[in-house]
A and B are shown apart, each in its own frame.
Chain A
Amino acid sequence: MRSSAKRKAALIILLWGWLMPVPVFAGAYAAIVKDAELTLQDEDYLLSAEIQYRLSPKATDALKNGVPLFWAVNIRIQRQRDFWWDETIVEKNLRFKIQYQALLNVYRVRNEDSGEGGNFSSLASAMDALSSIRYVPVLNKSTLADGERYTAGLRVLFERELLPLPLRPLAYLNPQWYLSSGWYLWNMKN
């Protein structure tokens, strides 16, 4: 009697867990991928994307007080399979950093991989610079096979783990630090 009741409870929990996927929390300050596309130029696919970053008051405050903020733009291309999980063909991260420089009173934006970047006298212009990605090579055409279906995905991940240590636990608890976007997915024309 007791064991059957336990089994029933376990089954209910299992069903509940299955039917109710963990809700993706899209906060009021989450970044939005406005547009993204892969264009074929010569033999390479180049990524262009338009991302809207939305800084919360807390994030702005931290930035103005010298705390560097990091975002990673994740690009993922998957081959669709009918009866199996999709196969990831390419996964690429672009990491961006934005930091206030008190001496020059500028915001410095930097691509952590290529080292490119610039100084901007206003936060808005710095964020503008951050928001557009232009012609970043992602993969070679030969990587993709003919007759297959591919899905490209893009998202922006706010790197909480790169915040100063005291801010990290708060960043997980306060919605003002939920700055990551959801996946933006589109089918690739091959």
Chain B
Amino acid sequence: MEYEKLKPPVSVSILVLFALILFSLQLMSTATQESSELSAMYSWLLLINALGSVVLFVLVVANIAALTRRLKKREAGSRLTTRMLSLFVLQALAPAAIVFYFSMQFLHQGIDSWFNVEIDRAMEDALELSQASLDQRMHWHLMQTQQLAEKLQLSAEGFSAHEIENFRAQLGAAEMTLFSRQGRIIASSSVNPADILPSIPDEQIWLQLRQSGDYIALAPVSENELMIRSIVTVKGLDTWYIQTLFPVPMRIADLADSVEFAFVRYQEMNFLRDSLKLTFSLALSLVLLMSLLAAIWVAFISIRHIVAPVKELVKGTQAVASGHYEQQLPVTAQDDLGFLVESFNIMTQRISGARDEIRQAGVEVENQRAYLETILANLTAGVISFDSDYKIRTANQAAFRIFHVHVNQFIGQSLLSLAQDHAELAEPLKSIQRLLEQADDIWQQRIAFLSLNGRHELLCRGTPMYSHEGMRVGAVVVFDDVTDLIQAQKNAAWGEVARRLAHEIKNPLTPIQLSAERLQLKLSAKLEDADADMLQRSTRTIVQQVEAMKEMVDDFSEYAKTSKKQAVNIDLYALVQEVLGLYALKSGIVIQAGQDKKRLSINGDPISIRQVLHNLLKNALEATEGHGHIEVDMQRMQKNNSDFIEIGFFDDGPGIKEEQIEQIFEPYVTTKAKGTGLGLAIVKKIIEEHGGAIWVDTRRRHGAGFIIHLPAI
């Protein structure tokens, strides 16, 4: 954040960059003029500018590479950047290229136009003219010196050092020196008395002198003073040399100098023509390159700034498209794009608001549904709903408890397919299905079926459901297991019967018995033996039958009474063993308890349970007539989240007829010749009083089987 604050604005950086480039280019272009003081720095300026170009080029290339990478990744805004950039580069490049082309043309033509054959010729002529003029003067001076040498030859004998002063003055020479053959100075005279030492010719001059006899040349004395040096051989007794130095008149020297300067300058320029073109082209190219590169780089930066909000927008839209409605974008500028970004933010706010509301409503509906489902699930009545094709739509937990089938797994299927897999449910399900299809209004039906746990009675209520338009959209069936209710009603009825029996039948029995005994007592003495004997037999029969009737009524009232008198913990295995001990003499009784011997305990009245065991064993013994095989299975098991002790009694007697199975536990139902028919009824009553259940094991093909479930502790 601090860094952001410290960073100068982009526009300022760009201005500074352009100023720097312009300054550097201006310096270079100034340096190109030879007279400039910057000329000495030309190479450095060129190098700096070239380096600047390279840096800019690297920047541009890096930017292009980054852009290409973004394009490949199909990043947001990359295509827009590319399009804007190529447009910009094209627009910048075209005029720049045109200007560059024509500038180069003008430059080359301009430089070429400085030089032409006429000026070339004139320059050379001018130089030749000045050379000719000097040559003429030199020739003249040589002649003068030669004449003097001849004169000296004649008067060589009498030559004195004094004379040389006169000769020099005569000729108008600046200096005159006489050398011996060996180069020794014989005599010398100078126009300037201060010059004691005359100008001495060098080795090369001596060499030339010895070869050709005389020498004439221009000798630059100082920077802008020329002398004509002529040396001539003086022949005489000894060979001498005379050297004269003539000054070139100032005016001529100046002119010659000026011509030479111009010529050299022209020559140099001509020679440098190509290099000059190259230099200017280089400078021009550098200017173009730098400005273009800088412009492209700046274009990159400014386009990045322009595209940034668009990029954000694209990202934002993508986020919204993928479901992130909370997207809020930073508003960076107060322009059209800024307005667009603001609108986008408002839009996403609204969308996310609406989405939240929908979600809230959805949650509420869901809660409501879950609540209803909870209620349905916790109902003791089974509820199954159907769609318009009578396929199961929902089913609650109670449906499972009643049918012992996971009805939930059959959603989308009809009751008939459920019936296919569970044969024992086929009957009730088929009748429900039939009722569903036929009924137009609420219906109620009691349906009985035989499950693995014995006979069950269901009270089914169904209603078809209609839409607002009156179309049938499905149906709901509610069913209750009313087995226990019906049993209770039956028990109550039997209890009432028993009470009545006791009251209405047992009471008259005693007077009947007493009356019969009195009859016998009073009349036996008065009757003949034969009649007395018959009376006695009849009386005995009456008394016996009354006794039997009393017993029967007692049994019945016993059945009608509540038998669970006390509740203690009973070790069922020990109890069964104890009861079996009483029948030990009878062979063929087997007891099996698996591994659960220690854990087979229940809470109940031991006397009642003992009676149950006695009744069942007696039944089995009677069925097998004492010769068969009786098996008692005991095990602990879990059912509907509670522990049960299962006791199975199995024999290999004749078995129970199918039509009797439904009523076998009713009082006064028996297959035996003897007996009251209350044995199994009492058993069932005791078991139910202990919260258990008993049913006939219908799976058994051979002999009879009873299964008892008692809640374990």
A contact residues vs B (CB 8 Å cutoff): 61-62, 65-67, 100-104, 118-119, 125, 160-161, 164-170, 172
Contacts and interface: CB of A to CB of B under 8 A. Distances in A.
B270 interface: yes
Interface of B: 31-32, 34, 39-40, 42-43, 46, 127, 130-131, 134, 202, 204, 218-220, 256-257, 259-260, 263-265, 267-268, 270-272, 275-276, 278-279, 282
A166 B275 contact: yes
A172 B267 contact: no
Given A165-B34, A166-B279, A170-B275, A102 B43 contact: no
Contacts of B218: 104
Given A161-B40, A165-B32, A102 B264 contact: yes
A119 B202 CA distance: 11
The main secondary structure of chain B at its interface with chain A is helix
Nearest to B263: A102
Given A65-B267, A66-B265, A102-B263, 9 more contacts: A61-B271, A101-B260, A102-B127, A119-B220, A125-B204, A164-B268, A164-B275, A166-B276, A170-B275
A169 B46 contact: yes
A140 to B, nearest CB: 30
A57 to B, nearest CB: 13
Contacts of A66: 263-265, 267-268, 271
A161 B31 CA distance: 13
A103 B260 contact: yes
Contacts of B32: 165
13 contacts: A62-B271, A65-B267, A67-B268, A101-B264, A103-B134, A103-B257, A103-B259, A125-B204, A160-B43, A164-B34, A165-B34, A169-B43, A169-B278
B43 A172 contact: yes
B32 to A, nearest CB: 7
Nearest to A125: B204
Which 5 residue pairs across A and B have the least CB separation, nearest first? A65-B271, A166-B275, A103-B260, A66-B264, A166-B279
A103 B130 contact: yes
B279 A165 contact: yes
A158 to B, nearest CB: 14
A121 B103 CA distance: 44
Interface centre among A65, A101, A103 (most CB of B within 10 A): A103
A34 to B, nearest CB: 22
Which of A104, A160, A166, A172: most chain B Cβ within 10 A?
Answer: A166
Contacts of B271: 61-62, 65-67
A40 B257 CA distance: 44
Contacts of A119: 219-220
Given A165-B279, A167-B272, A170-B275, A102 B267 contact: yes
Contacts of A168: 42-43
Contacts of B264: 66, 100-102
A69 to B, nearest CB: 12
A169 B282 contact: yes
A65 to B, nearest CB: 4
B404 to A, nearest CB: 64
Contacts of B219: 119
A168 B134 CA distance: 36
A161 B271 CA distance: 18
A118 B263 CA distance: 21
Contacts of A102: 127, 260, 263-264, 267
A102 B259 CA distance: 10
A166 B278 contact: yes
Contacts of A160: 43
Contacts of A169: 43, 46, 278-279, 282
Nearest to B220: A119
A178 B34 CA distance: 23
A103 B270 CA distance: 18
Nearest to A120: B204
Q: Of residues A100, A125, A168, which shows the largest number of chain B Cβ atoms within 10 Å of its Cβ? A: A168
A142 to B, nearest CB: 34
A68 B118 CA distance: 26
Contact of A164 (B43, B220, B272, B278): B272
A160 to B, nearest CB: 8
A103 B131 contact: yes
A67 B204 CA distance: 26
Contacts of A170: 275, 278
Contacts of B259: 103
A125 B202 CA distance: 14
A165 B272 CA distance: 9
A165 B31 CA distance: 9
A143 B40 CA distance: 35
A174 to B, nearest CB: 10
A65 B270 contact: yes
A104 B271 CA distance: 20
Contacts of B40: 161
- Most chain A C-beta atoms within 10 Å of own C-beta, residue among B46, B257, B279: B279
Nearest to B275: A166
